[in-house]
């Protein structure tokens, strides 16, 4: 039976550490690290996520602002709001809640972000710096949380074959780079990958982030593999991942549960990135130079 990688206990430890660091920084600077969450529309899934982020930030003593714009907001209106938040000295991190309405030019909104305030690492500058491991950059909190969880449990990256199922800009692609930077050999799969099961069965580390409940079953997993499930799906009123938990748990060596796996650590990484953004912005203001 697989060892469960407990994200809740790690998240508690990280939250306590970050709270202490944020308090120390606030005492020195006179500012509270603050996140602004921007969304268009009031979809229940978005509202639920926003409530979760608010609880995490308020519990850790961080600042939190929630900006809701109408679902019919234009691209121009959202870009203008992002630029306003860029110039707001009391806001250190900006999180654009996805998905945005279909009529909105997602790229235009993302590119309007100040890269230093882009705490989810979606701006092209942050994505490019992650690719090249050059300079300062923010990394999306979800893949960073998954990597942090694996590191805490002592999973070996160097020389391991890591298969990532999912190629989104916010999880799959940055996760593949984070694994590659730790000297894993990485295979990035997606919805058009042929022979998916043949590839997943070879993985020492299997990461799944496609949003399809039960996609990965036990027979698709190498015995003893580490399986990281980033999926969030609701089936019959219950939260489940992209991995068929019972069958995979019988074959895997280690497995993240849903809920209680990567999710709590993702929230802690958003705290980390917001504090990091606050510190970088303060340094830039003190030196008068861009980072």
pLDDT along the chain (291 residues), means of 10: 96 96 95 97 83 93 96 97 97 95 97 98 97 96 97 97 96 98 97 95 98 95 98 87 96 96 95 98 76 48
pLDDT at 85: 98
Using an 8 Å Cβ cutoff, are 278 and 252 in contact?
no
226-229, strands of its sheet edge to edge = 3-4, 254-255, 226-229, 205-208, 161-165, 185-189
Domain ranges of the chain: 29-116, 141-263
pLDDT at 288: 54
3-class DSSP state of 167: coil
Phi/psi of residue 95, nearest 5 degrees: -120, 115
For 129, other C-beta atoms within 10 Å of its C-beta total: 18
CA distance linking residue 117 with residue 1, whole number of Å? 42
Structure tokens at 33: 């690290």
Secondary element (H or E) of residue 147: helix 141-152
Using an 8 Å Cβ cutoff, are 270 and 59 in contact?
no
pLDDT at 289: 52
Structure tokens at 251: 């074959």
DSSP state for residue 65 in the 8-state scheme: E
Question: Which of 42, 85, 45 has the alpha carbon at shortest distance from 65?
Answer: 85
CA distance linking residue 195 with residue 31, whole number of Å? 53
End-to-end CA distance of the chain: 47
Structure tokens at 250: 């019988």
pLDDT at 287: 64
pLDDT at 233: 87
3-class DSSP state of 238: strand
Of 3.30.420.40, 3.40.720.10, 3.40.50.720, 3.20.20.140, the CATH number of 141-263 is 3.40.50.720
63-69, strands of its sheet edge to edge = 63-69, 34-40, 93-96
CA distance linking residue 128 with residue 211, whole number of Å? 25
CA distance linking residue 148 with residue 276, whole number of Å? 16
pLDDT at 205: 98
- Answer left, alpha or beta for residue 58, where phi above 0 means left and psi between -120 and 50 means alpha: alpha
Distances (CA, A) of 178 to 5, 130, 183, 267, 271: 19, 8, 9, 18, 19
Q: Could you tell me which CATH number the domain at 29-116 has? A: 3.40.50.10860
CA dihedral sign, ordered 170, 173, 176, 182: negative
Query: For tokens 């006179």, what's the residue?
Result: 30
pLDDT at 45: 75
């Amino acid at each position: 039976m697989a060892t469960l990688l407990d994200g809740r206990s790690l998240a508690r430890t990280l939250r306590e550490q970050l709270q202490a660091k944020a308090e120390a920084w606030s005492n020195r600077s006179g500012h509270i690290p603050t996140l602004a969450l921007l969304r268009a529309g009031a979809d229940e899934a978005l509202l639920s996520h926003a409530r979760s982020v608010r609880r995490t930030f308020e519990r850790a003593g961080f600042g939190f602002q929630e900006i809701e714009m109408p679902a019919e907001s234009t691209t121009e209106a959202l870009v203008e709001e992002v630029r306003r938040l860029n110039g707001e000295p009391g806001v250190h991190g900006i999180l654009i809640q996805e998905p945005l309405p279909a009529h909105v030019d997602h790229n235009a909104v993302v590119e309007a972000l100040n890269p230093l305030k882009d705490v989810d690492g979606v701006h092209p500058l942050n994505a490019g710096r992650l690719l090249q491991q050059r300079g300062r950059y923010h990394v999306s909190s979800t893949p960073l949380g998954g990597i942090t969880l694996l590191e805490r449990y002592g999973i070996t990256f160097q020389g391991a074959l890591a298969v990532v199922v999912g190629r989104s800009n916010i999880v799959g692609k940055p996760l593949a780079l984070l694994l590659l930077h730790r000297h894993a050999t990485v295979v990035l799969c997606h919805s058009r990958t042929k022979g998916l099961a043949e590839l997943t069965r070879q993985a020492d580390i299997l990461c799944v982030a496609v949003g399809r409940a039960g996609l990965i079953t036990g027979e698709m997993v190498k015995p003893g593999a580490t399986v990281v499930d980033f999926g969030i799906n609701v089936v019959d009123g219950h939260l489940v991942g992209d991995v068929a938990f019972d069958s995979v748990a019988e074959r895997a060596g280690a497995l993240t549960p849903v809920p209680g796996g990567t999710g709590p650590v993702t929230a802690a990484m958003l705290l980390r990135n917001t504090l990091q953004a606050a510190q970088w912005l303060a340094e830039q203001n003190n030196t008068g130079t861009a980072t």
